Amino acid sequence: MGIRHIIIRILEQPSIFKERFHKIVPFHSKSCLVVKKLLRTNPKMIIDVGASVGDFIRACKFNFPGIFVYAFEPIKEHNAKLKELDNIEVFDVGLWDKNEKKTFYFVSENNTESSFLKPIEYSYEERTIELKRFDNLDLEIKRPCFLKIDVEGAEDRVLEGFGDFLKEIDILQIEVIYRGYYEKQAKLSKILGILEKYGFVGFKQINITYIKGVPDKSDLIFFKKFYGFKKE
């Protein structure tokens, strides 16, 4: 990372030193700052789909004190760490567009590439995991609600399983993969079509990663309206 890039990061995110002291991952915290700017307030709830060991949730709790969390993580090795957090309800199921049991392709405990879609490049262990539609879980949503989805290529299935609950989501972050890592990987065009139907009008792209100079993954933060923005 060059000096110029470091200076820009500090100017954009002056809290970065405090975050590092509290072991908060800076690019997760950056997501929170963008969300707060777009909403013009703090969300009251985060729904984290693909919560892993809770690094993203810790960043949200650091930036949004008192926030309540629904965390979905089908990897049992991660659930114990999630349950150490306060103000959280942990679900050891996957989210999908139907209720069923499905093969989960577990890459490794310390790897983030595990998925319900069959990997093309990685070796894996097969597990059978229970899947649920979110709209079948009878959960209450507190608004403003921030939904984050990081499910390695299956984002469209998760969104379809939310059904009309997407009307209650105020802001949404999705990790989008540009390379073909999985069979039947979600297409950005399909994701955009689903979200447009539920009132999302635009997005901001952040946290872009590259492989040999070519974009590999990024986070897209979708919003429904301009929350009190003024023309400059």
**Confidence at residue 80, expressed as pLDDT on a 0 to 100 scale:** 87
**Confidence at residue 5, expressed as pLDDT on a 0 to 100 scale:** 43
**Confidence at residue 121, expressed as pLDDT on a 0 to 100 scale:** 82
Q: What is the CATH number of the domain that holds 58?
A: 3.40.50.150
**Confidence at residue 10, expressed as pLDDT on a 0 to 100 scale:** 47
**Confidence at residue 1, expressed as pLDDT on a 0 to 100 scale:** 44
Does residue 121 lie within any of the structural domains? Answer: no
Residues of the chain with pLDDT under 70: 1-23, 109-111, 226-232
DSSP for the chain, please give it. --HHHHHHHHHH-TTHHHHHHTT--HHHHHHHHHHHHHHTS--SEEEEES-TTSHHHHHHHHHSTT-EEEEE---HHHHHHHTTSSSEEEE-SEE-SS-EEEEEEE--TT-S--BSSPBSSS--EEEEEEEE-GGGS-----SSEEEEE--TT-HHHHHHHHGGGGGG--EEEEEEE-S--BTTPPPHHHHHHHHHHTT--EEEEEEEEEETTEEEEEEEEEESS--S----
Count of domains for the chain: 1
**Confidence at residue 16, expressed as pLDDT on a 0 to 100 scale:** 52
- List the domain range (segments joined by +) for residue 8: 3-96+132-223
**Confidence at residue 93, expressed as pLDDT on a 0 to 100 scale:** 95
**Confidence at residue 110, expressed as pLDDT on a 0 to 100 scale:** 59
Does residue 25 lie within any of the structural domains? Answer: yes
pLDDT in tens, 115-141: 999 999 888 999 999 999 999 999 999
